[in-house]
Amino acid sequence: MKRLGKLFFTVLLISLIFAACSSDDSNPAEPKAPESVGTYSGQNSMDTTMTIIIGNVGGKAFVTSYSVNYKMVSGSSTTQGSYSNTSSDGLAEVVNNSFSVSLGSNNDEVLTGTISGNTMTGSFKFPSIFLVPEITGTYTLTKN
């Protein structure tokens, strides 16, 4: 009888230990933010400012916002403006420190970038819209 009591106690103890150590998926940890997450800003080849924000979307780095200012000078006329877009779900995922955001219906109308440390470099080509020609350029941005 003593043996049966010891066996019952041992099984009960092991069951309690396993129950205490089981994972609780009802409250998962917040995904760790990738290193590239942050706000990058600086100048583009048109000598105007631009900003790209890399956000944490479900533990992955995504371009969540961009704003590109432009200035076109042709003869005595100057055309200025900006292109921007924001999405909390992400506009493009950053994979292997690079991204490509589609900007128009043509495959070459994109905003591309590569991240190395605290520096982002890339290029852009925005489609032409009413009275504004195609906007192209390069950039180098620094993480704030």
pLDDT of residue 9: 58
pLDDT of residue 106: 77
| Long-range pairs for 42-47: beta carbons < 8 A, 24 or more residues apart | 42/139, 42/140, 42/141, 42/142, 43/139, 43/140, 44/68, 44/69, 44/70, 44/124, 44/137, 44/138, 44/139, 45/137, 45/138, 45/139, 46/70, 46/71, 46/72, 46/135, 46/137, 47/71
pLDDT of residue 129: 74
pLDDT of residue 17: 62
pLDDT of residue 73: 83
pLDDT of residue 119: 97
pLDDT of residue 18: 56
Q: Cβ distance 68 to 124 under 8 Å?
A: yes
pLDDT of residue 11: 54
Mean pLDDT of successive 10-residue stretches along the chain, which has 144 residues: 59 57 53 84 96 96 96 86 95 96 85 96 87 86 97
CA nearest neighbour of 133 among 109, 98, 114: 109
pLDDT of residue 62: 97
Euclidean distance between CA atoms 136 and 125, whole angstroms: 4
